[in-house]
Amino acid sequence: MWALCIGALVFVSITHWLYRWRNPRCNGKLPPGSMGLPLLGETLQFFAPNTSSDIPPFIKNRMKSYGPIFRTSLVGRPVIISTDPDLNYFIFQQEGQFFQSWYPDTFTEIFGRQNVGSLHGFMYRYLKNMVLNLFGPESLRKMLPEVEQVARARLQQWSSQDTVELKEATATMIFDLTAKKLISYDQEKSSENLRENFVAFMEGLISFPLDIPGTAYHKCLQGRERAMKKLKNLLQERRANPRKEQSDFYDYVLKELQKEGTILTEAIALDLMFVLLFASFETTSVAITLAIKFLSENPLVLKQLTEEHEAILKNRENVHSGLTWREYKSMTYTFQFINETARLANIVPGIFRKALRDIQFKGYTIPAGWAVMVCPPAVHLNPAKYEDPLAFNPSRWKGMETNCASKNFMAFGGGMRFCVGTDFTKVQMAVFLHCFLTKYRWQAIRGGNIVRTPGIQFPNGFHVRIIKKDATHEST
C-alpha cells in the first residue's frame, strides 16, 4: 500500500514537473514553440549538421510552425528566438536597458568569464576603446602597407605549390599578422605553434557542452588552456623586460595595467587578447575562402571585381607603388562584394542577449532572465527584403550603405556592440582580393563544400591551384 502511494506521488511529481517544463510560468503570453525534452530541450536538433545555404532547417521549420518569434530550450536554458526585424532592432537598441549581452556557458568557458562579450556598461566601453586603438581607421591606415606586403608574400609562396588549402592558408596568414600586431609573436622564431591551440575552436565553440575526452568541447577547452598559458608567459616576460617605445598591443596593455586606479586586470587583459586572436583570423579566413568560392561560381562577378582592381593599377602614376588609403576607399564594388559575401555566409548563426525584465512585444511576453537569440540568417535570406535571396548578387548593394548595421543586415552585429573588428576584416579582405585578382588566377581542385553545425566548416577544405598571370593579365 505504501509503495503504491509513494509510486503515485512520484508519478504526480514527475507529471507536474514535465507540465511545468513544457509550459513555463509567464506574466503574460509566451511566444509559441516547444521546450523539447526535459533539460536537453531541443539542443540536439539545433546542433544537427546541415549543408543548406538557406535559413537553417531548425529555424526554418519552426518559423513555418510558430511564426517569426518562438520559444525553445537550448543546453538547459529557455530561449526566445527572433527572426523578426523589428524585435531584432529593438533588442540591439535597448542594450543595457532591457537587454544585456549573454552567451551560453560553452562560450564563456572557452573565451573566459571576463571576455569582452560578457562584460557590460563602462567596462565594455573601456575595452572597446582599447581595441579601437589598435584596429580603428587611423591605425588601419598605417597598417595598410603591411597588410598588402603580407598578402603579396603569401600569394607568391602559394603560387609555387601544387595546391593550397585556402581556408587553412588564409587563417595562418591572418593569424600571423594579427599575432605580430598584438604580441609581436613570430611563428618562425617560436618553439611552439600558438595557432594550433585555436584550430579546434570553431567546432567546439557552439557545441554540446560535454567536457569528456574526444568531444569537440573538450578539445576546445584544452586548446584554451594551452593558449592562455602561452599568453600569460609572454605577458610576464614583457613585464620583466619592458620596452621603451610602444610597438604592439601588449605594450599598450602593460601601460594600462600600470596606471594608478586602473580598472583593467591581468585576467581581463588575457581574455581580451585570446578573443582578439581567435576572432580576427577565424571569421576573416572563412569569409575570404567563401569569397573565392563565390567568385569561382560567378564569372560575371569575378570579371567586374577584377576590372575594378585593375583600374586602380592603371590609374597610378607609379605602377610599382603600394596600395594607398585613397585607393582602398575607392573600392565601391569590392565593398558591395564583401557585404554580399557576409550576407550569404552567415558566419555568426546567432547573436545572444538576456532579458533584464519582463518585456512586452507584439502581444508576447519575454520573461526576465530568459535568453534571446537574434537569428541573422533568417533576416539575410528573407525574400521580402532581398530579391532571390540565395543568389550571389553584389550589385544589390548599389546605392546602399555598406558600412553599417540595419534591421535587414547584421553580419557584423548591431547597436552599441557592432563589431569593432569590422574595418580590420574589410581591409584584409579588400587588400587580399586586390593582390590576388590583379596578379593571379586559380583553379578549384577539390573540396569547397560547407557544413553548418551551426558554425561554418569546410570538412574537405577548399583546395585550389594558384597561378601567376602572364603579361596579358588573363582572367580565370
DSSP 78-129: EEEEE--HHHHHHHHHTBTTTEEE---HHHHHHH-TT-GGG--HHHHHHHHH
Q: How far apart are CA 100 and CA 122, in angstroms?
A: 13
Q: Where are the domains of the chain?
A: 45-468
201 within 8 A of 278, measured Cβ to Cβ: yes
Task: Please report the pLDDT score of residue 213 as a whole number.
Answer: 81
Task: Please report the pLDDT score of residue 123 as a whole number.
Answer: 65
Task: Please report the pLDDT score of residue 9 as a whole number.
Answer: 57
Task: Please report the pLDDT score of residue 379 as a whole number.
Answer: 93
Q: How far apart are CA 76 and CA 82, in angstroms?
A: 19
Task: Please report the pLDDT score of residue 344 as a whole number.
Answer: 94
pLDDT in tens, 211-224: 778 777 788 788 78
Instruction: Please identify every stretch of the chain with a pLDDT value under 70, giving residue numbers as ranges.
Output: 1-23, 106, 111-124, 187-192, 200-209, 246, 402-405, 415-418, 471-476
Residue 404: CB atoms within 10 Å? 11
The fold for domain 45-468 equals Cytochrome p450 (1.10.630)
**Is 220 marked as a binding-site residue?**
no
How would you classify residue 41: left for phi > 0, otherwise alpha for psi between -120 and 50, otherwise beta? left
pTM, full prediction:
0.88
Instruction: State the Cα angle at 75 between 73 and 78, rounded to 5°.
Output: 30
pLDDT in tens, 379-392: 999 999 999 999 99
Task: Please report the pLDDT score of residue 184 as a whole number.
Answer: 81
Task: Please report the pLDDT score of residue 104 as a whole number.
Answer: 73
Task: Please report the pLDDT score of residue 457 as a whole number.
Answer: 86
291 within 8 A of 285, measured Cβ to Cβ: no
Q: Which pairing describes strands 99-101 and 164-165: parallel, antiparallel, or unpaired?
A: unpaired
Task: Please report the pLDDT score of residue 174 as a whole number.
Answer: 92
59 within 8 A of 83, measured Cβ to Cβ: yes
Task: Please report the pLDDT score of residue 453 as a whole number.
Answer: 82
